[in-house]
Amino acid sequence: MTAKIQNHSHVDTAPDILKKIALTKKEEVEAARKKLPSLKSAAADASPALDFKGALRKKRLCVIAEIKKASPSAGLIAADFDPGKMADAYGKAGADAISVLTDEKYFQGSPKYLPLVRSILPQMPLLRKDFIIDGLQIYEARALGADSFLLIAALLELPAMVDMLELGRSLGMEALVEAHTEEELAHAIEAGALVLGVNSRNLRNFEVNLDVAVRLRGMMPEGIVSVAESGIKTPADAERLRACGYDAILVGESLMRGGAENCPAAMSALRGEQP
């Protein structure tokens, strides 16, 4: 099954930065291929996954707080980076779920951050934020304690997306499937994604336009969980997305720049709560 998934990733037609990242991921996956049996065993032995999708179904706007040190678009975001401290701050500030960047080369993340955050927040749903092109990475996510994982529609042809969604569900995980265009969103819906994300950042030029998230929200079917990603910096941004129907927002850069001490106020403001 893993080889089948790998053959379906369409790296050649992905946006430039995605193409570059995906080629790196293919190298990483092949280097780790010998670990697949042990990853499958560890995934099977892991504690049951928490309900990521259910955690984002509330009467108010939910916040997925992201642990992110750097990004290709913003460069270094947190010079004094302490993932454990931020995880604790996010938990105390009432985050509904936490996204953990595990890509090392482009985002200065690490797979090691997942078990670290899990040890600090045992009941918090965790999303593995990475560039998933192979089933091995999904087994690894579960083995490391993740409850969900990101799939980027621009990286995957439809059969691969279906396979990866099914693999995740067999491990108790519901993936967050991310789109930036109408075509990508249509593929995600056709694949049967139940948690749909819209990235307002154009990965070809890194420009952010929240109009993208607003427009694509209207294409989503009833019953799914909707997540807006990227470029959410102010309470006004969050309110605009809530007003057009989003269940949750994924926020990393603004929270990371604000630091742990500012998390409670920042999180309350994003949710529209009065001080």
Of 25, 40, 68, 69, catalytic: 68
In angstroms, how far is the first alpha carbon of the chain from the final one? Answer: 51
The question of whether 230 is a catalytic residue gets the answer: yes
The question of whether 66 is a catalytic residue gets the answer: yes
Of 9, 71, 99, 230, catalytic: 230
Q: Mapping DSSP to helix (H, G, I), strand (E, B) and coil, where does residue 240 land?
A: helix
CA–CA dist 110, 120 (Å, integer) = 16
The question of whether 129 is a catalytic residue gets the answer: yes
Of 28, 40, 66, 71, catalytic: 66
The question of whether 226 is a catalytic residue gets the answer: no
CA angle 247, 122, 168 (to 5 degrees): 60
**171 near 72, Cβ under 8 Å?**
no
The question of whether 239 is a catalytic residue gets the answer: no
CA–CA dist 104, 24 (Å, integer) = 10
**197 near 229, Cβ under 8 Å?**
yes
Of 9, 71, 99, 199, catalytic: 199
The question of whether 178 is a catalytic residue gets the answer: yes
- Cβ atoms within 10 Å of 122's Cβ, excluding its own: 11
CA–CA dist 106, 109 (Å, integer) = 8
Of 28, 140, 178, 184, catalytic: 178
* Length reported for the chain: 275
**Helices (H) then strands (E): counts for the chain:** 13, 10
Q: Would you state the structure tokens that stand for residue 61, as one six-digit string?
A: 């706007």
Question: Which residues are identified as catalytic?
Answer: 66, 68, 129, 178, 199, 229-230
